Every structure is written in structure tokens, then in C-alpha cells.
Amino acid sequence: MRLMDTIYIRGKEGKRIELHQGDLTMLRPDEAVDLLVVSAFPNDYIPTNTSLIGALYKKGLSVAILAQLKDKDLRKDFSCWLSQEINPSNPGLQFRRILCFEPMSRGEPPELVGDIFRAMTPIIGEESEISSIAMPIVAAGDQGYSISTMLVPLLEAAIQWMERGLPLDCIKIVAHTEEQGREAIKVFSQRKNLYEQSQSISQVRIEYDVFISYARDNDKEMEILEKELIRLHPNIRIFLDRKDIDIGSPWQPQIFESLDKCRKVVVFFSPDYLKSKVCKEEFNIAWIRCRETDQEILFPLYLYSANLPTYMKYRCYLDCREGDETKLRTASSELLAALGPQ
């Protein structure tokens, strides 16, 4: 493969996003990665002549067979599934697993391409040996989207998650043909220039003591905690989306920026929390911050019994089931103790 350009993530000791032009089925040993990302229509792994799935099939690797023995099926929440470890016989297939991106049952690929990185949070939470990934410009082949339409949100998501601490050393984005490479390098260079002129997350100033991440159906329980925190500490700085988001402005950037400006993130685990894309996004960003900084930023409260994913359960939580008001008030005191002097 031919390396065309690189975006180095600020303050992350060589962590980077690379743009290449070449063939992902003909990697050399020194180009090996832990994970290869492919994209597909929902449950459709037909090896066409114009797809990466087809090229892999010609090299002796069937994505359709891998799909029958998935290691993790994350399509409901993150539009992706993870294969078992593979031992391809072809020396050009230099990767250990495949992550298949299947967005079109949930929405349009440009809107959901960030799911590739959201899916990495539960995967890396249980599989610590993934540090490098390679992918084509997903959905820009048989799914019919243009290079620029897919590469812009793909780079936005990759930069956001790597800068926030997603524990990957390298993401290789690969344009297959020279024509695709010419289009891709224009988009990549423009985004690189914007990134190099922007402010680093590490320079963000702490503005809140607590960020409360909750599902709207758990609003009553959230208010109990909020009122008790204010009663015990009237000057506490709490971020709540319903109070702190400017009406009419994009909500997502404000929430993500606020997560970086808080000392603790309180999460209310419940069935409704697990159904919420926004809640899971908030948890994942806070989880990554914990891993990156080695600080206990997360403060989980188990509000109502739910089938929690393993990566959520591994952290100690305060058991407030089933919406126990007394335990919620006790949790307020424990949260203030965890915050320390203010």
C-alpha cells in the first residue's frame, strides 16, 4: 500500500490516522493490523466483483461463513458485528478479526459511520489485544455513496474518538483505486488542516463538578439525586442537558464538550438507559476518559434491573434498585465524598 498522508492525534504519543491507497487483501507482514473493517448491506455477504467482501472471498475468506459464528453481535446498538479470530491461509490477509459494518437497517451510512468506533468500546472493554484497524472508505463501493460523503464523517468520528482516548494506536483508511485516492487525499488534507488549527481536548477547562447521564423516562429519579446534591452542597456545578443546552443549537457537540469539562459522570443504569443511543454515547465517552486518564470519572448508579453489557458491569456501581429513593439520597452523599474538597 502507498501511504498518502497522516493525521497525528495531539498528545497521544504517535497515535495516528493514516490514508493509504492500495489493496487491503494484499497486506505485507509489516502492514498487519489486528482488525479489518468491512461494510455490507444487512445480512448480505454476497461476494460481488466490486466489493471488499468479494475480494476477500477470492483470497479464501468467506464473510458469510464468519457471520454464522459471530463473536459479538452489536448491530442493534452499533450497526456492527465482530468475527471470531481467524487464521487465513492467504499471506496477504494480515489481520486477526473482521468487524462488519451494517448500517442500513438503522439509518443512512454517513449518519451512522461513527458506530464503528462506538462498537470498539465494548469490544476493547473485553478484548485488549486490538490496537490497530484498517478499513476501506466504507459504503463507498456497492452501497453507492461517494468518497467525500463517507470520508468526511468517518474522519470526524475517528478523530473525535482517538482524541478522547480510544485505545487504538493506528487507523488505516484505504482508498482502493488511484482515482479514489485522488478524491480522498483532498478531503483528508482539508480535515487535517482544520484539526491542526483547532483546540486540543487536553486544554479544555473543567467547568462542572457533575454530569448526569440519564434516560428521560428516569427523570423523576434524576431529580431526587439533583435536589439532594444541591441541598447538601448549594454551590455544586451540575450539567443537565435539559437546562444547559442552548435551544435551537446542535445538542450533540455541546454534550460531548461538556463531558470533557466535568469532574464526575453519574450514569443511571436502567433498561431505558440501554435503549438510548445518546446515553450509551455519553457512557462510552466517559468510559474512554477513565481508561485514558486512569481516573475514576464514572460514578455508576444501578437504578433498575437491566441486562448490562459486560463492559458496563466491570466498574463498581452503587445499587439503587429498584429506584430506591433512600439509596439515591445516600448515593448523593457518596458522590460528594468522591468529589473531595470543592
Q: Total domain count for the chain?
A: 2
Looking at the fold, whether 140 and 272 belong to one and the same domain comes out as no
Residues 169 and 116 in one domain: yes
Check whether 339 has a pLDDT greater than 90: no
The yes-or-no verdict on residue 125 having pLDDT over 70 is no
Asked which of 160, 181, 201 is the last residue of a domain, the reply is: 201
CATH code for the domain of 111: 3.40.220.10
Which residues lie closer than 8 Å to 290 by C-beta, 6 or more apart? 296, 297, 298, 315
Q: Which of 141, 174, 201 marks a domain boundary?
A: 201
Q: In angstroms, rounded to a whole number, what is the distance separating the alpha carbons of residues 162 and 127?
A: 17
Distance CA 195, CA 9 (A): 9
Does 231 lie in the same domain as 154? no
Q: Are 54 and 177 found together in one domain?
A: yes
> Which pLDDT belongs to residue 164?
80
**187 & 293 share domain:** no
User: Quick one: 184 and 214 in the same domain?
Assistant: no
For 50, counting Cβ atoms within 10 Å of its Cβ (0-12 exposed, 13-18 middle, 19+ buried), the class is exposed
Strands 80-82 and 72-74: antiparallel
Q: Name the pLDDT band for 245 (thresholds 50, 70, 90).
A: very low
CATH number at residue 326: 3.40.50.10140
Model pLDDT for residues 209-242, shown as the tens digit of each residue: 999 999 989 999 999 999 999 998 999 998 886 5
- What is the number of other CB atoms lying within 10 angstroms of the CB of residue 277? 13
**Strands 238-239 vs 2-8: parallel, antiparallel or unpaired:** unpaired
Domain span at residue 98 reads 2-201
Taking the CA atoms of 276, 278, 279 and 284 in sequence, report the sign of the dihedral they define.
positive
pLDDT at 243: 44
Same domain, 248 and 318: yes
- Per-residue model confidence as pLDDT tens digits over 256-308: 777 888 889 999 999 999 888 788 888 888 888 787 776 788 899 999 998 88
Neighbours of 326 (CB within 10 A): 9
* Residues 191 and 323 reside in one and the same domain: no
Same-domain pairing of 125 and 217: no
**Least confident window among 9-13, 37-41, 202-206, 334-338:** 202-206
Domain limit, last residue, from 185, 201, 217: 201
pTM: 0.78
Say whether both 229 and 130 belong to one domain: no
Question: Are 195 and 209 in a shared domain?
Answer: no
Record the cell numbers describing residue 118, joined without a space. Answer: 462506538
pLDDT at 248 over 50: no
Q: Are residues 172 and 211 in the same domain?
A: no
pLDDT value for 23: 95
Q: 52 in helix, strand or coil?
A: helix
